[in-house]
Amino acid sequence: MHNQPTADLNRAMWHPDESPPLPNPIQLHPLDQEILELTHDLPHLPLLVNPKVLAELREKSPFVHTIETSGRFPPDAAERSDARKVAAALPDPEDRQDMSYRGYLLKPRIDSYVRAREIYAEVDGGFTGKFSSRLQQCRKFAWFVQSSVTHKLRVMSSRCKLRWCPICRDVSRMIVTKSVDEWLRIQKYPKMITLTLCHSDDPLQLQINRIYLAFQKLRKRAYFQNLISGGVWFFQLKFNHDTAQWHPHIHCLVAGKYLPHGALKTLWHKITGDSYVVDIRPVKDLEGCSNEVARYATSPADITAVDLERAIEIYYATKHRRICGSWGSARTITLKPTRLEDTGEWTKVADFFFINVKKDYDPSVLHFWKCFKQGRPYDGPQLQRLTEVYREELAVYDSTNVEVLTIQQFDHMVRKGRDANWKDFYAPLDQTDTRDAQAIARRDRPDGNSATTK
């Protein structure tokens, strides 16, 4: 763990017979604090922490917050409509990040996320640098969208696109798995080839350069080209803890004619000069093979299986380097997420945080959640007021008069609003709400006349 005591060690130790020291003598490391906020738990908290403080840290926050303490809306929120009051009763997303889409995705991936945070903190020189900030913002903004065609639900969210982000990694893995599986199914005799290098004490960067160059030469050999019409390749890296050596290798899914193992072994040895360990076998389980190679395509190494120093070495050795690719008849395969064309089919219907919080005690929201999880069409009512769903976008638009914003611009403006406790951020919307309320009041008067102020 990353905790460092901020007081003398003797003062930090707590004995059952003594009154516990207040305040808590342990200052949480920023990364540990983030884990606590994302998962609402910190199982590896040091024993130096006062057990009572530990219990308070792990105690769940109440769902209902007062308008004054939530900090999500301006002080005049009490004068808004009933729908607005219901939204204000929700906890602040900043206080309950474990209920956000980001927290929902990171809970089962927290170890990989912690290691990624450590790597990018080292690269940035701190936990608040460029890459660290991008990683922290990944999936922070998330909404449910519904198809006007199938009425099914999905989640739309912001993403950081960083290679070692565990969320972006797994999303890319699903895309690659689908693409590779579709390509494999139209091939007559697909094969899996594995190419390796002899174990060496050379620097990792040098070994990667060498295997990439050898692979390029292999694909240019006439014998190989005549038998293999195309394929998809993936780079993978492992570390042997017994010998303290790196083991880089390349996996290929190929299509074409019969390629003898002995001929491939001889050709690879001629190219590398010392390496002859290769493998070639037919692909029988198409789906399982697609899942396996997708794991290589989106994450060339398991950064949690090595210490931080070697994880950082992996980062720099693979920086700005392709870890997968295709050639020949497989060039049509999509190996990375692409922006979906805006056809107007998908419409935002609810904020993820709103649904995740209310599903535990609202049956209609629970039905919405089950439709999403089970992939069934949702035909129920609108659960959240649309001015709440689009609230931040409307405020950004009213303050800038810009219809199209990049996610970076939107993220910057929303964070600026949160830092200022939303002061004047919602002013244009509040004025609109006031005008709407006055119009409704005039319409509902028995005599049909407008009320006058004295």
pLDDT digits (tens, 9 = 90+) for 223-250: 999 999 999 999 999 999 999 999 999 9
pLDDT of residue 199: 87
Higher pLDDT pick, 135 / 25:
135
Banded model confidence at residue 376, pLDDT cuts 50, 70, 90: very high
pLDDT of residue 43: 60
pLDDT of residue 452: 39
Higher pLDDT pick, 40 / 11:
40
31 within 8 A of 122, measured Cβ to Cβ: no
Taking the whole predicted model, whether its pTM rises above 0.85 is answered as no
Higher pLDDT pick, 41 / 276:
276
The pLDDT of residue 126 is above 50: yes
The pLDDT of residue 265 is above 90: yes
Helix, strand, coil percentages in the chain from 3-state DSSP, rounded to 5: 45, 15, 40
Strand partners, 192: 253, 281
Residue extent(s) of CATH 3.30.70.60 domains in the chain? 166-328
70: helix, strand or coil: helix
DSSP notation for 6-38: SS-HHHH---TTSPPPSS-SEEPPHHHHHHHHH
Residue 304 vs residues 5, 137, 172, 292: alpha-carbon distances, Å: 26, 22, 19, 18
Per-residue pLDDT of 382-438, as tens digits, reads 888 877 777 665 655 555 555 555 556 666 666 676 666 556 655 554 454 445 445
Question: At a CB cut-off of 8 Å and minimum separation 6, what does 157 contact?
Answer: 101, 139, 140, 141, 142, 143, 352
pLDDT of residue 67: 27
pLDDT of residue 197: 92
**CB neighbours of residue 297 within 10 Å:** 27
For residue 172, give the nearest of 304, 324, 376 by alpha carbon: 324
Q: CA geometry: angle at 281 spanning 267 and 185, to 5°? A: 120
CATH homologous superfamily for 166-328? Ribosomal protein S6/Translation elongation factor EF1B (3.30.70.60)
Per-residue pLDDT of 202-215, as tens digits, reads 999 999 999 999 99
Mean local confidence (pLDDT), 248-270: 93
Residue 340 vs residues 153, 156, 346: alpha-carbon distances, Å: 16, 11, 11
Amino acid identity, position 263: A
Burial class (CB in 10 A: 0-12, 13-18, 19+), 180: buried
pLDDT of residue 285: 80
Tokens of 401: 């008069």
pLDDT of residue 170: 86
Percentage of residues in the chain with pLDDT exceeding 90?
A: 31
Higher pLDDT pick, 252 / 346:
252
The pLDDT of residue 361 is above 80: yes
Per-residue pLDDT of 323-333, as tens digits, reads 888 899 888 88
C-alpha torsion sign, points 192, 198, 200, 206: negative
Mean local confidence (pLDDT), 345-365: 88
Percentage of residues in the chain with pLDDT exceeding 70?
A: 65
What phi and psi values does residue 282 have, to the nearest 5 degrees? -70, 150
For residue 165, give the nearest of 345, 315, 60 by alpha carbon: 315
C-alpha torsion sign, points 214, 217, 222, 226: positive
